[in-house]
Structures are given as structure tokens and as C-alpha cells.
Amino acid sequence: MPVSVTVDFAPFADIAATGPRNGGEAGASALIVFAGENLSFGPQTGQLVAPAASAIERAARAAKFKGKSGSALDILAPQGLGWDRLVVLGVAAKAEEGKVPEAPDYVAIGGAAAGRLNGAARVAIMTDMPAAPADPTAVAADMALGAVLRAYKFDLYRTKKKDDSEKEAAAVALTLAVADPTAARAAHVARQALADGVIIARNLVNEPPNVLYPEEFANRAKNLEKLGVSVEILDKKTMTDLGMGALLGVGQGSIRESRVVIMRWNGAPAPDQPVAFVGKGVCFDSGGISIKPGAGMEDMKGDMAGAACVVGLMHALAARKARVNAIGAIGLVENMPDGAAQRPGDIVKSMSGQTIEIINTDAEGRLVLADVLWYVQDKYKPRFMVDLATLTGAILVALGQEYAGLFSNSDELAERLATAGRDTGEKVWRMPLGPAYDKMIDSKFADMKNTGGRHGGSITAAQFLQRYVEKTPWAHLDIAGTGMGPPASDTNQSWGSGWGVRLLDRLVKDYYEG
């Protein structure tokens, strides 16, 4: 489970006056500061580390530390400071000719700082920068967010730790030195809500499939009621009555019954049209009759990362009391290959009335989403819908794990998502849609088939989904490369990344609140 990190904010003067708390008796202490080019410090940091200036300069020369962004200088027991460790992190951006330097990512900087704790029980971070930021309070709160996200670990099922350092890192008291602690604490409230949402999503993705099956997933989503979210769970009988034949066909081979969960957060006046988020929740994907190869199949417990993101997002919106009406809808199934499972060649009828020829039972996520998208657009008439799904391996071939694939029928929504992606680091890349791709999923025997062949696989999957959104502004995010097993980063070292919670929270915050 997550490492316990308690975050607080204190005036710069307190850190300078008191130094490490408890004299280092209850665990190692560390002071983290930031340096630009030529060991330039912020004014408060410069005063604090002045007694160790010569030691810092010698260490920098020995390590050839120039303050470059991403570099670090680690000094043990620096004379004159009283801390067990002094960590100097470089934040000088690399200047590229003809390009405007990118704004610092303070969430990532906070994560990088937390990555240097190395068993320290008490840590102070001096948040003043060599170049003064426009909003120091926001900078400090963003750093705290990054530190909390970086500290996350999922070790619920490990009965033994690798070494003593893991036990020592179980609890960290983190103090961020700021000019205005009261303002920083207020700013941190919304960031903590967001961090909690990301951690909820990570926990869901990391859980084993024998623990997190559709009914249990739905029960966990029900916990959002404590925050004022209305949660409705549709069982098999209800979905049958609604005509959700596409979704139910996926789950009919499993002993675990399928579920749909509808979460509603009403943070704006009742007449305000809601925004809607839809998540694919295949709690385990064996491929069904079109069974997957055995190698790597254990990763298919994460085929519900889209649904996990939606639950985490709804938590974040409710916990920070977002001024928006929002719908979160997730389709929860298991795709298993028993005697009752659907077969290639079967034809199912979706809730929309459209029929689907099953070509490959491993193209199941789009079947789940089809019924949930139709239900949401038909019942709630949202301003827009964004769906998230670990939908296709083809998007990994196209984009790797740096970007999620973005498909949309709305230029405005697509651009807003792209901007939110750049701002949060959860980046998206827009992919094409068009009539030629749409023809590839026409069927000889039904209204459509569930695959369009090998070529353009992520695009034909999106074209399939577009047939279920009517005229609602809609975006589809294929997160097969980002939702599970992404490369480690400053803010995430977990297999389950919680990708999308920060992106969509920023989308709502910047464009749809108030």
C-alpha cells in the first residue's frame, strides 16, 4: 500500500531556526534544495545553506554538478547544517536555440525530490527557486502533490520486505518551507483530493483479478457515496431488461456476473448539463474463445484501467467539491472461455438496436463500451463524453507508451484534452477518423463487425465506438500504453499508473467548472 507521507508547510524561517526535528533521534533527516546554473539558489535557500557553501562547492566540482535539470548532488552529514543529508536538485532548463524554454513541471520536481528520500524519516524541502515563479503557493502545493504520488507503493500482498530500508521508509514526515503556510495548506487540499483519486485508480489496477472482479469493483465504487456521489449499480437482470446484449455477451463465459456502475456528482446547479466519463472495466481478459497467448496474460488484470481512472476521477471531483455536474459510468465484465462463452461468428444486439457480428472475442472492450456509451448519451444528454479504455495493442505500435491515442468527433474537445495533457504531463496524440476506416467494420451478416482487420486497428476500434455516441461531442482515449506498465517516472513507480485522473480533472477545472 502507499508509503505513509504526512505533508505540512512551514515558514522558511522555521526551517532555518529549528533545523531537523527531534535532533535526528527518530530516524535520518534530509534537507532538499534546488539549484540553477552555477549553483544559484533561491534567496531563502541561499541563506540557509551558506554555512555549508564551501562543502557544496567542493562536492559540485567533484561530481561535475552544474545544476542541470534532472541532476542531483547528495552530500552526507554536511558540516554546519545539522542535517544528516543535503540533497541539491538541479532545475536549470536546457536552452535550445530558437525554442522557448518549457515551464518547469513542479509536480515532477516534487516527485523527483521524494525519490531522493532514501529512508529519511524527516524531510524538509525548500520550495524557493533560483528563478522566482509567478505563484509560489501553487508551486509548493504542486511539489507536495508530486511527492505524494511518487511515494506510492502497492505491497498489500507481500508478507516480507526486501530489506530493512523498505521498513524504514514506511512513514515520512515531509515539511515544505514556504512564505505563506496558510495559503499553501489551502491550495494543497485540492491537490490531496487529486492525489487520492490517482491512488484509488492505481490500487484498483494493481489488485489481483481473484480479488477485484466485477461485483467487488462495483462495491468499491459504492464507497464514493461517502463523498456525496450518487452510485447506482445495474445488475445482470437490469442490463438484460435494458437490452445491453453487447456488454452481456462479453461476460457470459464467466462465473462472475457483469455490472454497470453509474456515479453522479452534482456540484453545479441542477439545470447544468453534465459532463460524462466512461471507462472500460474488463477485470480480467483471457481473450475468451479467441484466447490470448499465455505469455504476459497476467497483465490482463489491468484491462480495467479505464474504469479505474473514472472512479479515481469521480473521487477527485467530489473530494475537492468541483463546481460541475459529472457522470462517471463503467462497464465491468470478465472475458472468460467456458462453454457458455460467445463465439466468433455469433451476432449480438446492442442496446442501441444495432447488431454486431463477433469476429474475434478478444475485441471485447468496444462491445462493453458500446452499451455504456449509448446508455449515457441517451439517458443523461451530456455536454460531452470521454471514454477511456486499454483497447488495442495497435495503439502501442503507433505511439508506444509516451502518449495515449486520442480520437474525437469534436475539434474543440480534442484541443482541450491536448492542452490539459501538456499541462499535466499525461499527453495525448490525436489520431484520424474517417469514412474509409468506418467501412472496414461493415459486416455481411450484421450492422457491423467487432474488428476491422489488422491494419489501423486502433482507428477501426474508435470508428466502432463512434457509432454509439450519436451527435454528442465525444473523445475516445486508448490508454493501452499508458494505463498499465508504463515507464517509471518522477511521479509514478507503480505498474498501475492511475493515468488519466490528472488529465481529466484538469480538463474539468480549466473549461467546465462554474
Residues known to be catalytic: 292, 366
Give the helix/strand (H/E) hosting 176: strand 171-178
Q: Which residues contact 223 (CB under 8 A, 6 or more apart)?
A: none
Q: Using CA atoms, how far apart are residues 20 and 121, in angstroms rounded to an integer?
A: 10
Written as nine digits, the cell of 14 is: 522555521
Q: Which residues contact 287 (CB under 8 A, 6 or more apart)?
A: 335, 337, 361, 362
Report residue 417 CA to chain centroid gap: 14
Question: For 499, left (φ over 0), alpha (ψ -120 to 50), or beta?
Answer: beta
Q: Which residues pair with 174 in a beta bridge?
A: 7, 123
Q: Using CA atoms, how far apart are residues 317 and 82, in angstroms rounded to an integer?
A: 42
Q: Using CA atoms, how far apart are residues 354 and 337, in angstroms rounded to an integer?
A: 25
501-407-142 Cα angle (round to 5): 25
- Cβ–Cβ < 8 Å for 476, 188: no
Residue among 346, 178, 315, 109 nearest 246 (CA): 346
Burial of 485 (0-12, 13-18, 19+ CB in 10 A): middle
Q: Using CA atoms, how far apart are residues 438 and 421, in angstroms rounded to an integer?
A: 27
Q: Which residues contact 232 (CB under 8 A, 6 or more apart)?
A: 261, 262, 263, 264
DSSP 297-316: GGGGGGTTHHHHHHHHHHHH
Q: Which residues pair with 302 in a beta bridge?
A: none
**Residue count (the chain):** 514
HSE (side-chain half, CA atoms, 13 Å) at 160: 2
Nearest 10 degrees: Cα torsion 148, 153, 156, 157: 180
Written as nine digits, the cell of 499 is: 493515468
Residue among 359, 226, 394, 349 nearest 287 (CA): 359
DSSP 382-408: -S-EEEEE---THHHHHHTTT-EEEEE
**Amino acid at site 253:** G
